[in-house]
A = this chain, B = another copy of it.
Amino acid sequence: MDTELSIGAVAERSGVATSALRFYEDRGLIHSHRNSSGHRRYRRSVLRRVAFIRFAQQMGLTLTEIRGLVDELPDNRVPDAEDWARVSAAWTPLLDAHIERLQRLRDRLTSCIGCGCLSMQHCGVLNPGDELAQHGPGPRLVIDG
């Protein structure tokens, strides 16, 4: 019995649309090979990979950034728990920093927006570098530093 998955099966099991899966493949985030009739076949390990992608997206990473992370996974063999742990460890600090940043922002919220100091020149909440202004057009994600 073949243990490989069709794109429809991956979509169903992962909750990610087939169009998104093709898009991820196009972007090099996941890989597949083709069966005799030209249909994509996925290893079961793609499920964990897709899970990781969605997870990282929820953390605010772009697909480009995520690609940088999953590229660290082995290509020649099915990644094991250790591989995943390594990749996860690589970006956990990023996640930590993100949470800390949000907490700092929240902590200053009452004491800052609530009062009158939110004049951006002196207030620490907004302007540590005015990072948002540095980025290009398009919607900005929560993570940016």
Query: Which residues 29-68 of A have a CB within 8 angstroms of B?
Result: 47-48, 50-52, 54-55, 57-60
Complexed CA–CA distance, A140 and B139 (Å): 9
| Chain A residues bordering chain B, tally (CB within 8 A) | 53
Spell out A's residues near B (CB within 8 Å).
Answer: 13-17, 47-48, 50-52, 54-55, 57-60, 81, 84-85, 88, 92, 95-96, 98-99, 102-103, 105-106, 109-110, 113-116, 118-121, 123, 125-127, 130, 132-133, 138-144
Q: How near does chain B come to A76, taking the closest CB pair, in angstroms? A: 20
Q: Is the CB of A85 within 8 A of B105?
A: no
From known contacts A110-B85, A115-B81, A133-B15, infer whether A60 and B120 are also in contact, taking CB-CB under 8 Å: no
Ranked 6 nearest A-B pairs via Cβ: A85-B114, A142-B142, A15-B130, A60-B142, A51-B118, A88-B113
Complexed CA–CA distance, A61 and B47 (Å): 30
Complexed CA–CA distance, A110 and B140 (Å): 27
Q: How near does chain B come to A139, taking the closest CB pair, in angstroms? A: 6
Chain B residues near A113: list those with CB within 8 A.
48, 51-52, 55, 84-85, 88
Chain B residues near A59: list those with CB within 8 A.
102, 105, 142
Q: Is the CB of B133 within 8 A of A110?
A: no
Complexed CA–CA distance, A42 and B83 (Å): 55
Q: Is the CB of B55 within 8 A of A125?
A: yes
